[in-house]
Structure 1
Amino acid sequence: MMNKSRMEAFSDGVLAIIITIMVLELRTPEGHEWREVLRLWPVLLSYVISFVYVGIYWNNHHHLMHTVHRVSGGILWANLHLLFWLSLFPFVTGWAGESHFAAVPMTCYAFVALMSAVAYTILVRTIIRADVSNHLLAEATGRDLKGNLSIAAYLVAMGTPFFGPAGVAVSGAMLAAVALMWLIPDRRIERVLASERAS
């Protein structure tokens, strides 16, 4: 078993780079009028949503690491698996925005979001199984209704874009709803940590 500090530092660095790549891919308007900015609304909206998503993962990853006492090789690989899917956000963000949220880019965006959620779930389960000292995470997550609802919403978001503009709107609404659901850091972990400190 190894210390978790290097994994935390590496993860923080990768997430910071992902956000940096996304903002560097934003192009400045061609003109100097507000209407030029308004023409870029799909690109700006996709950037904002992706920034929120990456921020949510950073925030919840930070909370997650507070419950971890020791890490294993399996945890390191599960963490890399999560970072792989998160690293694809700049690609699907640019594609969805520049295509004005066309069906295929939206489906790919939802797929990356789905796989990131699956990878996060795998990381959580790997941490729980790795060492008995990580028992707080098992207590905090329980049946993980929130995580399962997110995965279901992503599956809907993947399928609906092919039903025309209304389907694209439903897909976007599903993605936004999941982001809103996770915007506040996981209180379950905070409660378990507070309870351990009080005992």
Structure 2
Amino acid sequence: MTKGRLEAFSDGVIAILITIMVLELKVPHGADWPTLWELKDKFLSYALSFVFLGIYWNNHHHLLQAVRHVDGRVLWANLHLLFWLSLVSFATGWMGENHFATRPVMLYGVILLLCGVAYYILAQVLVAVNGEDSHLARAIGKDIKGIISVVLYLIAVVLAFWLPVGSAVLYGAVAVMWLIPDRRIERGLKSPP
């Protein structure tokens, strides 16, 4: 399989996940603002998850643009990432439906944590396939943002016992951190690897 097919398949899965999430936003039965306001938790959980899926889609694209080769290990690592990403829509719905209650917020954080771990594994497998001297290996480096993300997810999952909204704020902080594009991979794509 070529990396183009792998990227196209992953793009399709992520697009379906976003579509499934938006379908969970049901039209309210009423035409006044208070009726619409009742959907705020569902919309906030959807918006947060949309941003996360967008970040994964964007970074996945950059990962694959920075490598020349994929193999069976990459395919399985990619499926592992897609598995955890596919659970985001479930946790999003549960969290929004239950107004950011403790257990749904905790589960959401655990799934985000496992998405992060799966992404890390995919990146490491891509480095192994393409070499320690590859552009991707140099660009990833020590992956400080990835480590900070995992630590914040762990803190947020524990914090959900006492302050679920605080956990959601930490999830949002991780998203904001990743919204700032990492130019290391893009810079290397402009010059021949």
Q: Normalising by structure 2, what TM-score?
A: 0.96
Q: CA separation in 2, counterparts of 1:153 and 1:65?
A: 26
- Identify the residue that residue 179 of structure 1 maps to in structure 2: 175
Q: Specify whether residues 61 and 134 from structure 1 end up closer, same or farther in structure 2 by C-alpha distance, changes over 3 A only.
A: farther
- Identify the residue that residue 3 of structure 2 maps to in structure 1: 4
Q: CA separation in 1, counterparts of 2:112 and 2:129?
A: 26
- Identify the residue that residue 64 of structure 1 maps to in structure 2: 63
Please give the per-residue CA displacement for 1:18-49, whole angstroms capped at 9, x wherever unaligned: 00000111111111111111011000000000
Q: Which amino acid aligns with 1:187?
A: R
- Identify the residue that residue 83 of structure 1 maps to in structure 2: 82
Q: Which amino acid aligns with 2:102?
A: A
Deviates more, 1:82-91 or 1:130-139: 130-139
- Identify the residue that residue 159 of structure 1 maps to in structure 2: 158
Q: CA-atom RMSD, angstroms?
A: 1.4
Q: What secondary structure does 2:181 align onto?
A: coil
Deviates more, 1:101-110 or 1:133-142: 133-142
Q: Normalising by structure 1, what TM-score?
A: 0.93
Q: List, as ranges, runs of 4+ consecutive aligned residues in structure 1 with deviation greater than 3 Å.
A: none
Tell me the percent identity.
52
Q: What secondary structure does 2:161 align onto?
A: helix
Asked whether the 8 Å contact 2:67–2:130 carries over to 1, the reply is no
Q: Specify whether residues 50 and 134 from structure 1 end up closer, same or farther in structure 2 by C-alpha distance, changes over 3 A only.
A: farther
- Identify the residue that residue 36 of structure 1 maps to in structure 2: 35
Q: Which amino acid aligns with 1:68?
A: V
Q: CA separation in 2, counterparts of 1:193 and 1:82?
A: 24
Asked whether the 8 Å contact 2:131–2:137 carries over to 1, the reply is no
| Cα deviation, residue 56, structure 1 | 0.5
- Identify the residue that residue 188 of structure 2 maps to in structure 1: 192
Q: 1:142-157 alignment to 2 at 5 Å? A: 142-157=141-156
How many pairs does the alignment contain?
Answer: 193
Unaligned stretches of 5+ in structure 1? none
| Cα deviation, residue 131, structure 1 | 2.7
| Cα deviation, residue 188, structure 1 | 1.5
| Cα deviation, residue 186, structure 1 | 2.1
Unaligned stretches of 5+ in structure 2? none
| Cα deviation, residue 134, structure 1 | 7.5
Q: Which amino acid aligns with 1:103?
A: T
Asked whether the 8 Å contact 1:59–1:185 carries over to 2, the reply is no
Q: What secondary structure does 1:101 align onto?
A: coil
Q: Which amino acid aligns with 1:78?
A: A
Q: CA separation in 1, counterparts of 2:172 and 2:103?
A: 18
| Cα deviation, residue 7, structure 1 | 0.4
